[in-house]
Amino acid sequence: MKLAVGWFSLALAIFVTLVIQEFIPPLRSLHGARVFLVPMLFCYGALAMPFWAMLLMAIYAGLLTDLAHLNVVNGHVEIALGWSIVLFVFFGLFAHGLQPAFIRGRWWVHVLLAAVCTCVFLALQFVMICFRRQGVFFNETVAWRILAPGFIAAILAPLVHLTVVKAAPYVHGPMRLRPFRRIRQ
């Protein structure tokens, strides 16, 4: 029960985040960087949930992200649907390796993971677009647009943990979502 509540809450949070992100303008002072929080939310799920639930979340988050950002020009898709699923699966595998540390109470693992995964996601997205267009290039703006969302995700990551910690006592059922179990002890 608790795992189901956790999974669906996270799924809802990812959906709501995708919608809210549409209304957050580019941050001009950060070279037009955008707020991108889906990898951060996914990483929390990956650290907290069992393996199979993480995989389901990777499919859900990846598909939604791709659908939100799909760019079709003259009948050509720049980044195909499904690539985010693969990427989220890899993030999830990495997160699962760090899960023991997270369960032991090292909440900052999520902060680091959120920053790294957000930056890697944007960097790979950029590289794929470059290959589709005129070859890879790099400048200060590109660096800002990759690193700043990672930094923002890292700043907001503890809020997610705090929300889960505060919400946990109100959710009844067997303790299957690991951080919840830790909080009860």
Partner 1 sequence: MSRLNVILVIAVIIGAVIISSFGATTMQRLQAGFLSVISPFLKTGSAVQRQIGAMGQGLKTLDQLERENEQLKVENKELRTSNQIFRDLEAENSKLRSALEYRKRSIFKLLPARVISRDASAWWSTVRINRGFEDGVEPDQPVLTDVGLVGKTTTVAKNESIVLLISDESCKVASKVEGSNERGILSGRRVGEGEMPSEMQLNFLSKKANLQPGQKVFTEGVTKGTSTGVFPSGIFLGTVKSFQARPLDGQAIVEAAVDLSTVEDVFVVVGAK
List of residues contacting partner 1 (CB under 8 A): 18-26, 31-36, 51-52, 55, 58-59, 62-64, 67-73, 75-78, 80-83, 85-86, 89, 93, 122, 125-126, 129, 133-134, 137, 139-142, 145-146, 149
Q: Rg for the chain (alpha carbons), in Å?
A: 17
Closest approach of Cβ 85 to partner 1, in Å? 4
Closest residue by Cα to residue 42 from 28, 26, 53: 53
Closest approach of Cβ 162 to partner 1, in Å? 24
Nearer to partner 1, 52 or 170 (CB): 52
Q: 122-153: string of b/e by CB count within 10 Å (b at 16+)?
A: bbebbeeeeeeeeeeeeeeebebbbbbbbbbb
Nearer to partner 1, 9 or 21 (CB): 21
For 86, residues 6+ apart whose C-beta sits below 8 A from its C-beta are: 62
Nearer to partner 1, 7 or 107 (CB): 7
Closest approach of Cβ 149 to partner 1, in Å? 7
Nearer to partner 1, 40 or 58 (CB): 58
Contact 174, 5 (CB under 8 A): no
Closest residue by Cα to residue 95 from 37, 143, 55: 55
Alpha carbons 168 and 136: distance in angstroms, whole number: 46
Closest approach of Cβ 73 to partner 1, in Å? 4
Closest residue by Cα to residue 34 from 147, 156, 154: 147
Closest approach of Cβ 171 to partner 1, in Å? 25
Nearer to partner 1, 116 or 165 (CB): 116
